[in-house]
Structure 1
Amino acid sequence: MRRSIPSAWRKVTNAISRYPLVWILLLTVLVIIAIWPFPSLLIHGERLTEADRLKAVADTRSGVIATLTALAGAGGLTYTIATFRLGIADRLIQRFENAAKQLGNANETIRLSGLLAMAQLADESSHQRQACIDVICAHARLSSSQESSETSRAAALRVIIDHLQADARVSWSGSDFDLSNIVVVDADFSGLVLSGGSLSFDYAKFAVTSQDRTPWRKETVSFAGTTFDGTDVTFRAATFGSECHVKFDDAVFADGRVCFDHAQFEAGEVSFHQARFEPGCAVTFKHATIRDQAELVFTNADITGPGLSFVSTDFAENRSGAGNVTFEQAKFHGRIRFDNAIVDRVIDLRKVDWQDATLSLDTTRFNSGRLDLRDATGTGATISLAGAVAGAGQILLSEESAQLFRTTGHDRPADFFGQESWLPTAQSMPQATFNGEAVQPPTR
């Protein structure tokens, strides 16, 4: 731990400790000069009687002695303060080392004591807080191994969460938390306001690993109601596994970045029900993969582009029918990007309220999946299909929603739209309009 001694004072103290006799001799000579010849030199040249001269020298010498006494007192006080600070720093180092040793102990009770001691040290020393947080995060990561106790990991997460609460006695908000590669089974990050610093769950595993868990019980990791307001939060290459429910319900993504790039949604459910995505916060799923049984839920969310982005996301084929990707009854504003995505499953966009919103599907590949846009409402809805590849996929529109959307960027937009976009008979078939031109439904 770095000692907070000014660099100039450190140089002086180092020189004194290296050559003490030289400094003592030099200081003695300076004091003798200041007390004996210096007062006579100050009054040299003055026209005084011998008695007046002797009195002036005595008065000047008394003033010099008083000044030297004051300087000596100030120097002694400064040295005492520096020594006191050095003592505090030494004690902090000792406490840090003792707590770190306890965290590495095989006994779980001793590890918990070390964790609490490290947290107390972080509370008391703002200068050393980040170092203490780094050790606590490292303890949480190491406790994710099979040999370590889940209790230690849960306790470390609890300490971190408690210090990010709005009413925390000492707030750690704005610090950096590295929880990469951690296994998260059950944790409650709900209701936090994350502002400044970073929170990394890169390569983390959100999955049930407990051997004695109830088979039917879904473990929950909750960020419900949390406000992301400037903290750099990353779930890069994280895995969301079986029976785990990760909740971002009612969360507010106001500013900063929340990154799910390269994440693997294997199974379980990740929900953003009634969450609010604002344009100042980049929530990205770039190169993420949503696999067979994974559920990704954005029902009733309020989404303003470009806050939420699925650029290059792989919506993998849903063979079992157990998983779901749904935006049902969400509100879209601005440009919502699915550019360069691979669509091999149903993406449920039914009953979405489009308010001057653009669904960007530029260079998207519809291999076999479908985008269900039926029963859409709102005004100013646009579908951008520049460079998109139809494949065997479809975009489903009801009769009403077919009149709501216009398309841009593709010469044959009708190639993307399934039969459900139109009525079944030619006599009752309405004219669907794309880019201002009437088109007929594609033939099968």
Structure 2
Amino acid sequence: MAISIRRKREAPRGRYTPNLWPVWIVAPVALIAAAAVGWVIYHYAYTHFAQAAQGQTPAKPVDINDVLKATVTALTLIGAVLAGLYAYRKQLLAEGDAHRSDASQLADRYTTAAEHLGHDQAAVRLAGVYALARLADDWEEQRQVCIDVLCAYLRMPYEPDPIAPGHKTGEREVRHTIIRVIRDHLQQPDSATAWCTYHLDFTGADFDDVDFAKSHFRGTTSFRGAVFSSGTVRFNDATFNGGTVDFTGAVFSGGTVRFNNATFNGGFVGFDQALFSGGFVHFDHAVFSGGIVSLYEATFSGGTVRFNGATFSGGKVHFTGAVFSGGTVSFDRATFSGSRVDFLAATFSGGTIHFDHARFSGGFVGFDHARFSGGFVGFDQALFSGRVVNFVHAVFSGGTVDFVGARLSDGTVEFTDAVFSGTTIGWGPLPVPSDA
């Protein structure tokens, strides 16, 4: 019998209903426990009243009615406490039932929304997008799952040409709606339904237009291997505060990415090994006060990257190992007052870099071990007033480096161990190295 009772007490995993003791066991035990407690209270009360009576002059007998009243009062108080505990337990069970009911309803909504996303008609897919976004707002525990589904939809094969095989009518509108929904949830980082800290995965997706203007990125956003063949990706006025946006291996073959007026105060944007073959990336008037932009081993074969009017007061921009074979990088009117811009081991075989009217008042710009065999680097009207620009171990075998028109008031430009064998250099105000 003991084994049978123990088995009944053991609740299977996943069971929601509590497994209670049988009434025929609980009732006698409860009565015995109540009687025992009553006897203890009665005995304690009797002893207390007896001591009080003995202390009086003359001594008086114990009033049994007082003892019984005290016992009943104590038992009533204990009963009230137990009743409160029972009511609290009952409330917890009721809340658990309500929570499970809500979870079941949310799961049903998720299933329905996911089915709508896979529908043949664009209107039904649009309904699924909005339904899944609303579900993500209502279901915080599974919000990331809902976001993952929307991102996964964008990673699916996409054929924008209406006469090509595999094209879906209305698909472009569905995809743009998903992007708008995601962007709307990145606008107010302090909102209870914000997605700013969640993971957004667009790996390998095809984009013809994306708008994340004025968004806040505090989590991880991946565009690894994405293809931007047309249209514009907008990050205008976006804020990167500890977030990561990764364009590693992305291909820009005609598209435009805009980070104009963006703020980087701790975030990371990576274009490592990205290919720019006609695309444009603009960081005009962006502010770098602690963030990092990395273009490690990126290839520019006709593309353009602009940092015109940008402010570098603590961030880092890396072009380490980048290849410029026709592309253009512009830092016109940029201000460098504490950050680092590094072209370590970069190759210039036709590319162009402009620092026209730039202000160098601190920090570091490095072309260490860079190779110039046909490119152009210009510092027209640049002001060096405390900045260090390094061409240490650089190899000049062609192309042009122009400092004509630059102003040197307190800055330093170093060519230590540089090799000159064919590059045209306009030294301007700079002292000419002995081996140049």
TM-score by length of 1: 0.79
Gaps of 5+ in 2: 1-9, 48-61, 160-165
Of the candidates 311, 318, 336, which is equivalent to residue 332 of structure 1? Answer: 336
Q: Can you list the C-alpha shifts for 1:92-138, whole angstroms capped at 9, x where unaligned?
A: 22222221222222222221111111111111232322222122211
Aligned to 1:42: 41
> Is 2:150 the partner of 1:128?
no
User: Where do residues 233-272 of structure 1 align in structure 2 (5 Å cutoff)?
Assistant: 233-242=245-254, 244-272=255-283
Structure-2 separation of matches of 1:13 and 1:52: 52
Q: Can you list the C-alpha shifts for 1:243-281, whole angstroms capped at 9, x where unaligned?
A: x22211222222221111111112132222222222x10
Conserved? CA contact 1:396–1:417, under 8 Å: no
CA positional deviation for 1:157: 0.6
Structure-1 separation of matches of 2:16 and 2:38: 29
Conserved? CA contact 1:385–1:413, under 8 Å: no
Q: Can you list the C-alpha shifts for 1:136-167, whole angstroms capped at 9, x where unaligned?
A: 21122226465552222111111001111239
CA positional deviation for 1:286: 0.9
Aligned to 2:50: none
Aligned to 1:163: 185
CA positional deviation for 1:412: 5.0
Aligned to 2:132: 118
Deviates more, 1:323-332 or 1:267-276: 323-332
- Classify the secondary structure of the residue corresponding to 2:431: strand
> Is 2:420 the partner of 1:410?
no
Q: 1:19 and 1:369, CA in 2 relative to 1: closer, same or farther beyond 3 A?
A: same
- Classify the secondary structure of the residue corresponding to 2:260: coil
One-letter amino acid of the structure 1 residue matched with residue 343 of structure 2:
F
Gaps of 5+ in 1: 1-9, 209-218, 423-429
Alignment RMSD: 3.2
Structure-2 separation of matches of 1:417 and 1:407: 17
Aligned to 1:101: 115
Deviates more, 1:82-91 or 1:379-388: 379-388
Structure-1 separation of matches of 2:133 and 2:241: 24
- Classify the secondary structure of the residue corresponding to 2:345: coil
Structure-1 separation of matches of 2:120 and 2:246: 31
Structure-2 separation of matches of 1:364 and 1:381: 19
Aligned to 2:392: 386
CA positional deviation for 1:337: 0.9
> Is 2:364 the partner of 1:352?
no
Aligned to 1:7: none
CA positional deviation for 1:294: 1.1
Aligned to 2:29: 30
Of the candidates 182, 206, 228, which is equivalent to residue 183 of structure 1? Answer: 206
Between Structure 1 and Structure 2, whose CA radius of gyration is higher? Answer: 2
Aligned to 1:174: 197
Structure-2 separation of matches of 1:421 and 1:354: 17
Aligned to 1:426: none
One-letter amino acid of the structure 2 residue matched with residue 289 of structure 1:
T
Q: 1:400 and 1:191, CA in 2 relative to 1: closer, same or farther beyond 3 A?
A: closer
> Is 2:276 the partner of 1:281?
no
Structure-2 separation of matches of 1:73 and 1:380: 74
One-letter amino acid of the structure 1 residue matched with residue 395 of structure 2:
V
Conserved? CA contact 1:296–1:324, under 8 Å: yes
Structure-2 separation of matches of 1:341 and 1:16: 63
CA positional deviation for 1:383: 2.8
Identity between Structure 1 and Structure 2 (%):
27
CA positional deviation for 1:284: 0.9
Q: Can you list the C-alpha shifts for 1:170-219, whole angstroms capped at 9, x where unaligned?
A: 4222222112222221222112233x2122211111223xxxxxxxxxx2
Conserved? CA contact 2:396–2:421, under 8 Å: yes
Structure-2 separation of matches of 1:268 and 1:349: 21
Aligned to 1:343: 348
Q: 1:191 and 1:19, CA in 2 relative to 1: closer, same or farther beyond 3 A?
A: closer
How many pairs align? 401
CA positional deviation for 1:325: 2.5
Structure-2 separation of matches of 1:396 and 1:16: 77
Structure-2 separation of matches of 1:14 and 1:24: 24
Aligned to 2:176: 154
